[in-house]
Every structure is written in C-alpha cells, then in structure tokens.
Amino acid sequence: MDINLVALEAKQAPKKANGSKRPVKPAKPAKKTKKAVVFFEVEILCAKTKDKLCFLDKVDPNSTIGEIKAMFHKSHPQWYPARQSIRLDAKGKSLKDEDILQNLPVGTTATLYFRDLGAQISWVTVFLTEYGGPLLLYLMFYFRVPFIYNTKYDFTTSKHWVVHLACMCHSFHYVKRLLETLFVHRFSHGTMPLRNIFKNCTYYWGFSAWMAYYINHPLYTPPAYGEQQVQLALIIFLFCQIGNFSIHIALRNLRPPGSKARKIPYPTKNPFTWLFLLVSCPNYTYEVGSWVGFTLMTQCLPVAFFTLVGFIQMMIWAKGKHRSYLKEFRDYPRLRSPILPFML
C-alpha cells in the first residue's frame, strides 16, 4: 500500500466500536523491500610489477573510477587522483573518471591496474606559462634590451613600420591566447604531466625568441613587395585570428559549464564557423592561416619554419581528433577532412 495513503487513512480512522476514546493506532506503513546490494571487492595492482598495492573491500557497485582513485589515494597519499591512471589491463587505456564500476567488464572481485602518471600541473598554468613567455620574450627583442644586439642599438626602435606592426600582431595573438585560456576554453582535463611544460615551453619560447631576433634585428629588411604584401598579410592574419576565436567560442558553447561532454561541432550563425562543414578542426586551420599571414608580413625564414612545424603538429592532432569523432559518432559528417578541406 502507498505510504501516504496509509497515513491519510490512519488520520481519518473512526474511533473504536466499543466506545473507547482511545484512538485507533494507525496501521504501520508497509515496509519497503530493499534490494540487496552486492558490494564489490577491488584489488589494485601495479601495472609494471603486478604487485598488489591496495585492496578495497565493500565497494559500492555504483562507485566511479574517480571515487576509487580517491579511496586509493587514502592508502597511498603520494599518488593524488590526477596522477593516477587506472586501467582494466596493465597495458591498456586509462579508464575515465566517470566510468562506473558495475558497468565495466569485471566480476564482483575486480582487478584494476595502476600506473603513476608523474607529477601533474594544471592546464591553465601550463598555457599561461607557454603563452606568457613568447609575449615577454618578443617584447625584449622589440625594445632591444641590452646584450642582444650591438650596444649602440640598446633601447632603439626599428625604422621599418612593418616591424612595429609585426610586434602588435605577435602580442595580439598571445594576449588573445592568454585571455582565451582564462575565459573561453572549457577543458576536460584538469592537469597534464609536469615534464610536458618543459617540452612545450622550449618549443614556444625558443621559436618566439628566434623569430623576434631576426624581425627586430637592426639589419632586418622589409618584405620584397612592400606595402601591398604587408597589407595583404595583415588581412590574412586578422581574418584567421577572428576565425580562430569564433571556433573557440563555438567549441565552448558545445560544453555546458563544469561538464566534460564532447559533441559534434556544427556551423553556427557566425560565418567563420562554416568551415566546420569541411574540416573537423577549423581552429587549427585558422591558426595555421594566421602564421602564414605573419610569414608573408615579415618575410622571415624562422617564421616560415615555425609555421611549418606548427602545421605538421596540428595536422597530426587534427587527424587524431578526426579519427576519434568518426569512432565516437556514427552520424559524423563524412565530407569533413581533419584540417584542410578535401586534402588533409
């Protein structure tokens, strides 16, 4: 019987027929039948040595991998959840934090494997360091601080207006990236391995110093086709910067705040996003376009080299993302290429 109904009937129950003024005791609500929960036992082994690291008794079958990581952390405080990789197979893929224990192909005694991902650092810190470095380094060359060029050029400025324009474009690009990191992107991963920051910073800082050295050099020569070349380059650069920003906004709007949802991105009302009709990662297409514009503007070999390396890197990532879209979504638009329409 419904519990509320029992309570109502009890309220309205007539007094006893024998005239006693004692109220009739309300009938006891029917007991809810509880399903017996089958708890799991989870043993965590080291993926490298197969040594047993932890045994968790009476684990709720609805526990997520994230919660299991937290339990494991209690017995091994040195391995905080972000640096744990928990797998079903010692050499397999990491399970997601949202994966639920009872949905995994394991019995009630589950064996999971642990791998230490190493010290972690937050993505935001990584990006701020990666992008803050090039911004400041470039400006040091632009202002010709001492010990870079001949002392007679200390704190002088170039006589070519394209050098000033290039500095504005370079700074604009990195300020945009910094602001997007802080206010636009909704990352699904909180952290990345600390060692990556050294690799990434060497790449970004190294290239920006190399480019800045030549562009701001007292002997720098402006582009061969003069003003027309610079103007065309500026248009390409700005067009691609707006395009890149538009895609970042479209990707942000795909993911509700605080979630890790991944959806198929589609063009929006903003025409810059219409490139989604033809490629899976138009933000990379626009990024490469921006650097092509910058190369044309400065006509500088290190910039061309940076553009080429960046393109190769983004092409590899775009191919990986394109493959995962095809794997994850059956209805993924077939017309799309990873980064360059109909080509790559």
Ligand X SMILES: NC(=O)c1ccc[n+]([C@@H]2O[C@H](COP(=O)([O-])OP(=O)(O)OC[C@H]3O[C@@H](n4cnc5c(N)ncnc54)[C@H](OP(=O)(O)O)[C@@H]3O)[C@@H](O)[C@H]2O)c1
The reply to whether 48 sits near ligand X by the rule CB under 6 A is no
Residues of this chain, 82-111, that bind ligand X according to CB under 6 A: none
How far is residue 178's CA from residue 198's CA, in Å, rounded to a whole number? Answer: 18
Using CB under 6 A, pick the residue from 72, 120, 287, 300 that binds ligand X.
287
How far is residue 19's CA from residue 24's CA, in Å, rounded to a whole number? Answer: 11
Least Cβ distance, residue 11 to ligand X (angstroms): 54
CB atoms < 10 A from the CB of 124, how many? 14
Residues of this chain, 261-280, that bind ligand X according to CB under 6 A: 262-263, 265
What amino acid is encoded at 147 in this protein?
F
Contact segment (CB under 6 A) with ligand X among 42-50, 181-189, 233-241, 334-342 equals 181-189
Tokens at residue 300, please? 């500088």
How far is residue 5's CA from residue 148's CA, in Å, rounded to a whole number? Answer: 86
Alpha carbon 201 to its chain centroid, in Å, reads 17
Using CB under 6 A, pick the residue from 313, 316, 323, 324 that binds ligand X.
313
Only one residue has tokens 């979504």, namely 329
Using CB under 6 A, pick the residue from 189, 202, 225, 324 that binds ligand X.
189
State the number of binding residues for ligand X (CB under 6 A).
20
The reply to whether 323 sits near ligand X by the rule CB under 6 A is no
The reply to whether 324 sits near ligand X by the rule CB under 6 A is no
Alpha carbon 57 to its chain centroid, in Å, reads 34
Tokens at residue 198, please? 């050294």
Residue 52 or 96 having the CB closest to ligand X: 96
Using CB under 6 A, pick the residue from 63, 84, 208, 283 that binds ligand X.
283
The reply to whether 52 sits near ligand X by the rule CB under 6 A is no
The reply to whether 130 sits near ligand X by the rule CB under 6 A is no
Could you write out the DSSP letters of every residue in 273-321?
Answer: GGGGGTBS-HHHHHHHHHHHHHHHHHT-HHHHHHHHHHHHHHHHHHHHH
The reply to whether 181 sits near ligand X by the rule CB under 6 A is no
Residues of this chain, 190-249, that bind ligand X according to CB under 6 A: 244
Alpha helices for the chain (secondary structure H):
3-12, 65-75, 123-142, 161-183, 194-215, 226-254, 282-298, 301-328
The reply to whether 176 sits near ligand X by the rule CB under 6 A is no
Task: Compute the residue count for the chain.
Answer: 344
Using CB under 6 A, pick the residue from 103, 108, 156, 188 that binds ligand X.
188
Least Cβ distance, residue 30 to ligand X (angstroms): 48
Using CB under 6 A, pick the residue from 128, 238, 254, 340 that binds ligand X.
254
Contact segment (CB under 6 A) with ligand X among 44-52, 134-142, 190-198, 254-262 equals 254-262
Least Cβ distance, residue 146 to ligand X (angstroms): 30
**C-alpha torsion angle, residues 56, 60, 66, 69 (rounded to 10):** -10
Residue 59 or 212 having the CB closest to ligand X: 212
Helix (H) or strand (E) holding 57: strand 52-59
Contact segment (CB under 6 A) with ligand X among 24-32, 186-194, 220-228, 233-241 equals 186-194
Q: Which residues pair with 54 in a beta bridge?
A: 44
Residues that bind ligand X (CB under 6 A): 185-189, 244, 251, 254-255, 262-263, 265, 281, 283-284, 287, 310, 313-314, 317
